[in-house]
Amino acid sequence: MQKSIVPPVNFSDRIVLMSTLLFTALIWLGSLAAGFFGALTGLGGGVVIVPLLAIGFGVNIRYAIGASLLSVIATSSGAASAYVKEGYSNIRIGMFLEVATTLGALVGAFLAQKIPTSTISIIFGVLLIYSALISIKPPRPSTSDANRDRIATYLKMNSSFPTAEGRKEYFVHHVPAGFAMMFGAGTVSGLLGIGAGVVKVVAMDKLMRVPFKVSTTTSNFMIGVTAAASAGVYLNRGFIDPGLSMPVVLGVLAGAYLGSKALIKARTSVLRHIFSLVIFILAIEMIYKGATGKL
């Protein structure tokens, strides 16, 4: 009788294989939700990915951040293309403000060794709470031709976006203030290693009077540019693991696609409340970590 040339499978190997598949599936599901939420609010999936991996799955924080950066790029790539095609994203605003964010990130990286991050974390948390409160109240409409911002007009930032009643014009205001806030967002991002999507949406929505859906879609475009530079540093340092990053990126891409479709039909008032709740939770987390010295 001929013996089988296939070696018997060890039971413990099966358990390990099943555990790995389950681990990968759970990460993919969590990343799917993160991508959906990130595309819907403009915050990027990294807001959820880092605590999901570090706290929920016990992944080393550096590898969690590395996978998170790739997820942010995936969210931006997956959602931004759809938003541009639909006519929501304002590329001129995004590229202009990205200059401020990048400069701020360089300053933040320089100051990281000078200022205690716990102090910055508490201050940033307080600012986030304020942002959460003011985000609930809709801004004054900016469709009037009166008092147009000269810089916005010169840079051709004024545009329109699709609505159920047809395309609706909007006019950008307070460009210098928005630029300054983006510089601050980049500085805090460089200091604490967090995404600046929250501040970007608030700056465009509140200061510059950009419609909320345009703010979130433009934020999605911007966060990918910032994350790409940071991801290169983490890749160079060996903190991006392919086995971990693959389910994260695939899940976020699928979630970002679904989120981009849902945003078109979503009610702005609902998005505002979701946005306010998320940044309020982030604020509490930042204050807690700063006060306990965990940042």
Burial class (CB in 10 A: 0-12, 13-18, 19+), 219: buried
Q: What is the DSSP letter of 205?
A: I
pTM for the full model?
A: 0.67
Structure tokens at 115: 């200022």
Q: Is residue 278 situated within a structural domain?
A: yes
Domain count, the chain: 1
Q: Is residue 89 situated within a structural domain?
A: yes
Q: Is residue 44 situated within a structural domain?
A: yes
Q: Is residue 9 situated within a structural domain?
A: no
pLDDT digits (tens, 9 = 90+) for 172-187: 888 999 999 888 877 7
pLDDT digits (tens, 9 = 90+) for 95-130: 899 888 878 877 776 776 677 767 777 877 787 787
Q: Is residue 3 situated within a structural domain?
A: no
pLDDT digits (tens, 9 = 90+) for 223-251: 777 677 677 777 877 888 888 989 998 99
Q: Is residue 7 situated within a structural domain?
A: no
Mean pLDDT value across residues 77-86: 70
Q: Is residue 8 situated within a structural domain?
A: no
Q: Supply the range of the domain harboring residue 156.
A: 14-291
Residue among 264, 229, 218, 255 at smallest CA distance from 80: 218
Q: Is residue 211 situated within a structural domain?
A: yes
Question: What is the number of other CB atoms lying within 10 angstroms of the CB of residue 291?
Answer: 13
